[in-house]
Chain A
Amino acid sequence: NAGVMQNPRHLVRRRGQEARLRCSPMKGHSHVYWYRQLPEEGLKFMVYLQKENIIDESGMPKERFSAEFPKEGPSILRIQQVVRGDSAAYFCASSPSTPSTQYFGPGTRLTVL
C-alpha cells in the first residue's frame, strides 16, 4: 500500500499566480486533512475533507484558499493570487475513518517569488 502521495514536491510561483497542490490519500482512506507549516513554526490545521464534503475548514484563510476532494481523483488545495506570506510547506494526511491515526505525505514546499 503506497503511502500518501503529494505533488508537486516543490512549487515556485510568482506573486499573483495560482498554486494547485495535490494529495492522493492511502488506498482505502476517505478522510483527508491539510496542514500548513510556516518557517520556524509547527504544523497548523487548515481543512478536513471527506469524499465530496468539507467537514471542518476552521483553519482555512477566508480568502484565496479553497480545497476539494472529489469523488474521483486526488484532493486539491488551491491558492489563488499567491503572496509571499503563502510560502510554506503544505502537508496532507489521510485516515480510513475518524478518530484514527493520520498518515502524512511528504509535503509540498511552495515558494512565492
Chain B
Amino acid sequence: AQRVTQPEKLLSVFKGAPVELKCNYSYSGSPELFWYVQYSRQRLQLLLRHISRESIKGFTADLNKGETSFHLKKPFAQEEDSAMYYCARAYNQGGKLIFGQGTELSVKP
C-alpha cells in the first residue's frame, strides 16, 4: 500500500531546542520524498526535497532506505518555525503526491 506516516500529530518544543519531525514511508522502489510546510493563514509550500539535498531555513532531512524514513531535523528551533509540516512521497513519476497526516510544530518562547 502507498503510505506515508507521521506518527506525531503535535510536537511542542522550546525555542533553541533541537527538533525532529518523523516521517516513514511504505517501501517501493526509489522514493522521491518532500517536506511541505504550511504557516498560519498561508498556502502549503515546499520546504525541501530529498533529491536536492539542500538545507532550507536550517532544516535538513536525510533519506534512510533501511528504515524507510525521511525525518526532518533542525538543531535550534525558532518561534517562526511554528507551522504544520507535511511529509509527502511522489508516485507515478511525480504525478501524484501521497501525504502524511501532518505534524503541528509549536515552538514556545
Contact = CB atoms under 8 A, between A and B. Distances in A.
Given A56-B92, A98-B93, A99-B32, A45 B98 contact: yes
B94 A100 contact: yes
A105 B43 contact: yes
Contacts of B68: none
A104 interface: yes
B46 interface: yes
Nearest to B51: A99
Interface string A51-79: 00001101100000000000000000000
A45 B86 contact: no
A46 B54 CA distance: 29
B84 to A, nearest CB: 10
Interface residues of A, number: 28
Interface in B77-94: 86, 90, 92-94
B74 interface: no
Contacts of A42: 4, 6, 86, 99-102
Contacts of B96: 33, 45, 48, 56, 58-59
A42 to B, nearest CB: 4
Contact of B101 (A41, A56, A91, A93): A41
B90 A106 contact: no
Interface in B10-58: 32, 34, 36, 43-46, 49
B46 A101 contact: yes
A102 interface: yes
Interface of B: 4, 6, 32, 34, 36, 43-46, 49, 86, 90, 92-102
The 10 closest A-B pairs by CB, nearest first: A99-B94, A104-B44, A42-B99, A42-B101, A98-B94, A43-B99, A48-B95, A106-B43, A45-B96, A98-B95
